[in-house]
Amino acid sequence: MLFAHIVQSGGISRCADMLGMERTTVSRRLKNLEDYLGTPLLIRSPNQMTATKAGRRCFQKCVKIQEIVDSVADGATTKLEFPVSASIVVAASADIVESCLQPKLIAYEKSNPDTEIRRQLLSASTIDCDLPLADLLITWQAATKIDAQVRKLASVNQSIYASPAFIESNGCPNRPDDLRDVQCVVARSLRDNDIWKFTRHGATHRVRVKCHFDAATLLEVREAAIAGIGCCQIPVFLAEPFVRCGRLVKVLTNYRTNRRNLVTATPEIRPSRRSVTLLRLFLEEAFASVSVEPRILAASANLVGLSVDT
């Protein structure tokens, strides 16, 4: 069951600390298991360990075995069917739930009818208060100082947008530096929300924009931009429907903007549960299977105060 502890804790170092073992011992036993099975179970990267498809299946089997062991030890039943029954609190902002998360949570509930997923909507003003109450937080660049284990789910392309009325009144920015002189809309829940980064021909430009309207979520940022309050930087998939109908215009099209990571965060103060790990693995696989297109999901950013275990 050592492999299950590695996955559940989020890494070899955490597992070794939790079990009081040497890190080299845990690493060697993991390698022995992978050699025995003839397939890698975890993908190692500088920032995190991610379970492969075989690793996710192996962890699911470990959970079932542990459920049987626990049930036999308790003398609760003699049957060999032990579904993982649980209630999981998943916290995310409305823009994430509506744009990409809700269909995946519904799919998980259908395939795991004994698991209840309670959705908890977050805003910039509630994230620090509500994160400790959630089993799993799904967010972008959340500005929170609560200790949590963070893992990347996916990444998204972003671009700069403004309404036709705003462009008509203020002109269309042609260079990143032009943004210093126009009104912009930012989300206060995001770190460095007033510093926008652009890349062109290998050169990087950083611009501190003039914040005219401070929104709570990216959905509010989009609505403010549609209303003509200012330029905004938001994920492409959130803007595309409004670009197609003419309510938003993409500007600075010759420049690439910085991307934004979609991550999961598990509060350190919450006890680790197998049901939460199963859901996280499911989401990692679901997002990994999505083609990397601008209007769906794709790239990188960091959380403030959240540590990434390797």
* CATH architecture of the region 158-258: 3-Layer(aba) Sandwich (3.40)
Top-confidence range, 7-21, 81-95, 283-297 = 7-21
Q: pTM of the full predicted structure?
A: 0.63
Q: In what order do the strands lie in the sheet with 86-93?
A: 115-122, 86-93, 136-140, 260-267, 148-156
Contact 232, 222 (CB under 8 A): yes
Name the token pair of 171.
Answer: 């002109």
Does 158-258 match 1-82 at the fold level?
no
Looking at residue 224, what is its pLDDT? 92
pLDDT tens track for 91-143 = 887 778 777 788 889 988 888 888 888 888 776 544 444 455 778 888 775 54
Domain boundaries defined on the chain: 1-82, 158-258
**Cα torsion 136, 153, 286, 51: sign:** negative
Tens-place pLDDT, residues 152-189:
887 788 899 999 999 999 999 999 999 988 889 888 76
pLDDT score of 48 more than 70 = no
Percent pLDDT > 90 in the chain is 14
List all residues 6 or more positions away from 39 whose beta carbon is below 8 Å from its beta carbon.
52, 54
Q: What architecture is the 1-82 domain classified under in CATH?
A: Orthogonal Bundle (1.10)
Find tokens 């979609």 and name the residue: 262
Give the chain's largest Cα–Cα span: 74
CB-CB contact of 114 with 159 (8 Å): no
pLDDT tens-digit readout, 226-273: 999 999 998 888 898 899 999 999 999 999 988 888 888 877 656 667
300 confidence band (pLDDT: 50, 70, 90): very low
Partnered with residue 214 across adjacent β-strands are 186
Asked if 253 and 205 touch (Cβ cutoff 8 Å), the reply is no
**pLDDT recorded at residue 38:** 81
